Amino acid sequence: MVSINGFNLDLIKFKKVVLDLEKLKIEDSALKRVKESYEVIEKIVNDNRRVYGVTTGFGKLVDVTIPKEKIDLLQFNILRSHSVGVGEPFSFYDVRGAILLRINTIIRGNSGVSLETLNALVELLNKRIYPYVPQKGSVGASGDLAPLSHIALVLIGEGECIEDGKRVRSIDVLNKYKIKPVKLRPKEGLALINGTQMMTSLAGFSLVKSEILLKLSDVVAAASADALLSTDLPFEKRISNIRNHKGQVDSAYNIYNLLKGSNIRRSHKKCSKVQDPYSVRCIPQVHGAAREVFYFAKGIVEREFNSSTDNPLVFIKEKDVVSAGNFHGQIIATALDSLTIGLCELGNISDRRLYRLLDTNQTGLYPFLIKDVGLNSGFMMLQVTTAALVSENKVLAHPASVDSIPTSLGQEDHVSMGTISARKLKSVIENNFYILSIELFAAMTALYLRKPLLSSKPLNELLNWFFKKVEPVENDRAFYLDVEKIFSLTYSGEVVEKVENYLKLK
């Protein structure tokens, strides 16, 4: 069970709850804040104060005063009117992450939500309920209104959930798990939907996968470098240390140690080649740049995990409520667009190495790594696939965060498009796993063809394990089946875990 208090949620805890499906516990100190925050809202309503979203309409309708007897109905209506998403649904994990992050925001004490409503959210999470949330329709300010509305709709017994791949009525799911529909109180509808939790959930998932991707990129690059009879000199510590970038230093460490002890490397130490092409020689510089953007994005996203992004914001000590703009997703949008651009180059440089692995003039091996070339095409079309994915990544790298379009009749006249940034990032990461899976397939095949010369201990163990999972290539076959299998091994982190049995990677 994972314990949170509104200030201590990091990527490790996010992964445990969202991906590993551990249950959630709220610390007592956080529950105390929630109670006190709700009491501030109760007093404001009793005092007939005019507060946005509590006693007024929303967006452009801020000037409309809501009669006291209809304040609760207002909160139900905002969930209904704002549930306007379209397209394919977000994944179970994306929605689960958004629920977790909304809980963590509420328990900071700046939202004015009752303990009853908070507990219902926690039950959704702990009972693994999967609200139906369409992917499209958020402009990233006021936060993720449409996606979060679809989640909150489930709490009141409306909207839909997904069970066994089918859309079903939420009320039926609540009844099945013995959860009573929530009776919303003043501000609660708005408090459940005003924030950046959908884009930040996608960001958290992408960061978890990016950690795997960065290590995988170094493993695959090292295997290709050895198969291409490259030197390990550019990866020496002294080279990266005089440039002072942690990402480059970490990547160079991985590559150098992955190649350490390779008999293939020793076999050509005195060859006439002076230097390797950039796609090999500059691996730490390119991979390191992606790492630097990852470090930057991770810091921002983890801070956003533990931020109050509601509007209006409740301040317990002052017993005050203030309208502001913490819901604006620009900081997340900018960080995720930057990470998308950085990660794109992992795919780009991977495709260049793959291209060289298929060239007999570069390797001295069979063209396209196959016997009887001509009769067989080998890896020829697999490189076409990587070329297509690399080009698709370049389109996806266009930053969503530089766009804005006015909404709500001009009241919300600058928006972040952060959720679009987050969705694009997920696509680029998936494409990169496919690209690197194909390069890994080629690199392992090339190392297999180098026998009896063996690579380093980690890479040779990976080679032996790999060809227990995938048949060596002797003749043409439907390679998409191999790619699907290898993708499952890379995307799950199995390949990296296998290597880390022999070498701990940075």
How confident is the prediction for the chain on average, in pLDDT?
95
342 inside domain: no
The set of long-range contacts for 24-28, using a CB threshold of 8 Å and a minimum separation of 24, is 24/100, 24/103, 24/122, 24/125, 24/126, 25/1, 26/103, 26/107, 26/118, 26/122, 27/3
pTM of the model: 0.95
Q: What is the pLDDT of residue 49?
A: 84
57 inside domain: yes
Q: Indicate whether 85 and 182 sit together in one domain.
A: yes
Q: Indicate whether 96 and 223 sit together in one domain.
A: no
Q: For 87, phi and psi rounded to 5 degrees?
A: 95, -170
Q: Indicate whether 120 and 220 sit together in one domain.
A: no
448 inside domain: yes
Q: Indicate whether 51 and 174 sit together in one domain.
A: yes
Q: Indicate whether 374 and 448 sit together in one domain.
A: yes
Q: Indicate whether 220 and 171 sit together in one domain.
A: no
Domain end, chosen from 132, 164, 195, is at: 195
321 inside domain: no
Residue 448: active-site member: no
Cα–Cα distances (Å) from 56 to 63, 69, 80, 145, 186, in that order, read: 7, 13, 17, 17, 11
Task: Report the CATH number at residue 132.
Answer: 1.10.275.10
311 inside domain: no
* Nearest Cα to Cα of residue 148 among 195, 112, 182: 195
Q: Indicate whether 131 and 260 sit together in one domain.
A: no
From 52, 93, 448, 502, the catalytic residue: 52
Dihedral-angle region of residue 453 (phi above 0 means left; psi in -120 to 50 means alpha; beta otherwise): beta
pLDDT tens, position by position, 57-74? 777 777 778 888 888 888
The domain of 117 spans: 2-195
Domain count along the chain: 2
309 inside domain: no
| Amino acid occupying residue 227 | A
Contact 283, 259 (CB under 8 A): no
The percentage of residues in the chain with a pLDDT greater than 90, rounded to a whole number, is: 88
Domain end, chosen from 151, 169, 195, is at: 195
d(CA 53, CA 134): 25
16 inside domain: yes
pLDDT tens, position by position, 214-231? 999 999 999 999 999 999
Q: Residues 6 or more apart from 242 whose CB is under 8 A from it?
A: none
Q: For 253, phi and psi rounded to 5 degrees?
A: -60, -45
Domain end, chosen from 171, 195, 219, is at: 195
DSSP symbols for 266-316: HHTTT-S-----HHHHTHHHHHHHHHHHHHHHHHHHHHHHT----SSEEET
Q: Indicate whether 238 and 356 sit together in one domain.
A: yes
Q: Indicate whether 216 and 171 sit together in one domain.
A: no
Task: Report the CATH number at residue 238.
Answer: 1.20.200.10
Tell me which of 406 and 273 has the higher pLDDT. Answer: 406
d(CA 455, CA 327): 52
d(CA 88, CA 165): 12
d(CA 24, CA 102): 13
Q: Indicate whether 494 and 408 sit together in one domain.
A: yes
Q: Indicate whether 117 and 223 sit together in one domain.
A: no
Q: Indicate whether 96 and 13 sit together in one domain.
A: yes
The rounded Cα 21 to chain-centroid distance in angstroms is 16
The rounded Cα 414 to chain-centroid distance in angstroms is 25
Q: What is the pLDDT of residue 71?
A: 82
322 inside domain: no
Q: What is the pLDDT of residue 68?
A: 80
Q: What is the pLDDT of residue 89?
A: 98
80: three-class secondary structure by DSSP: helix
